[in-house]
Amino acid sequence: MGNQSPMRDLGACAVVFGSTTIVGGTVGESHGGVHFKTSQDVAPVHEDVAGSQPVDEIFTGEACEVSVPLTRFQLATLVSLMPGSSGSGTTGNTMVVRSTVGRSAYDNAQKLIIKPIVNGAVSTNSNEWLTVFKASPRISDADLVYDVSTQRVINIVFKGFKVRANGVGEKIGWLYKIG
């Protein structure tokens, strides 16, 4: 019998940004899978005696991002997540997006937690969660198709940033944690 990873091997998830549950909650649902991606950058170290191949690599940085494809989303709540956007109308049924050129993405960053859904319920076990300590959202490549067979999905990408100041449960330099 195999062992599951701490964050589960398969299944949907809830996504919490700050205090707002954006998938499996008030904003909408995901369609197409929530994706967590991480990368590490390196620079090669060369020595003449070793020829053209590196003898070592030095880590120069790491990054992460979470892609959340939202469908059946509520505009009023989506507005609260997106820098440069505002809502109007008596029921919050309009979203207006303005230019955010020159605005800091880190200033809008909050904790992002991915929680597996197990047996139809959101996991309450923090050992199963994936946490990005400082994540900033942006709409990425919105392509809303209006036809008879394509479901409309708006992709929100959360860029992870390293923590800049120690806080409760987080330290300078931390990017994300699993479990």
35-72 residue pLDDT tens: 999 999 999 999 999 999 999 999 999 999 999 988 87
**Residue 116 burial (CB < 10 Å; 0-12/13-18/19+)?**
buried
Question: Residues 96, 16, 68, 147: what is their CA dihedral angle, to the nearest 10 degrees?
Answer: -60
Q: Residue 11 is encoded by which pair of tokens?
A: 């299944």
- Residue 176: pLDDT above 80? yes
Q: Average of pLDDT values for 113-120?
A: 89
Split at pLDDT 50, 70, 90, the class of 32 is: confident
Mean pLDDT computed over every residue of the chain = 85
pTM above 0.75, yes or no: yes
